[in-house]
Amino acid sequence: MVGALFATVVAAVAAAVFVLPIGTWREQSVDIERREDQLGELQRVNNELEAEVLRLETSDGVREAAREDYGYVEEGEERASVLPLPPLPTDLPDGWPYSVVDQIIDIQLDPPPEPTLPATTVLPEQP
């Protein structure tokens, strides 16, 4: 009885000393990998921002940013806004050639599924 109790205590101590830290170590390694990925992304964004700051420290960079962000136009230039095209009508008259256009529009709106090739089986060579 005392031997079984001693073995149980030894097993519990061994589990507490060896098994539980291994689980924690694994969780920490996953957390470290995730944090390294986050660090890499933050460094990439930081590098992009540093490049933007360097660009904006030049007069050409400031001028370009003013044009892009605020629509700045220099003297002698004209500003032209180009709007996107409106959606094309899909209610066409019946009959040729409109029936072909209707078919094309239907296919573009609801494309057919990609064809799948049948599985091939490789047979062993016959002696």
Q: Which band of pLDDT confidence, cut at 50, 70 and 90, is reported for residue 123?
A: low
pTM: 0.43
Question: pLDDT value at position 10?
Answer: 79
Indicate the average pLDDT of the chain: 83
Instruction: Decide which of 99 and 117 is more confident.
Output: 99
Peptide bond into 97 cis (omega under 30): yes
Alpha-carbon separation of residue 120 from 17, 85, 113, 114, 125 (angstroms):
54, 48, 21, 18, 15
Per-residue pLDDT tens digits for 44-91: 999 999 999 999 999 999 999 998 888 888 888 888 888 998 887 777
Question: pLDDT value at position 98?
Answer: 75
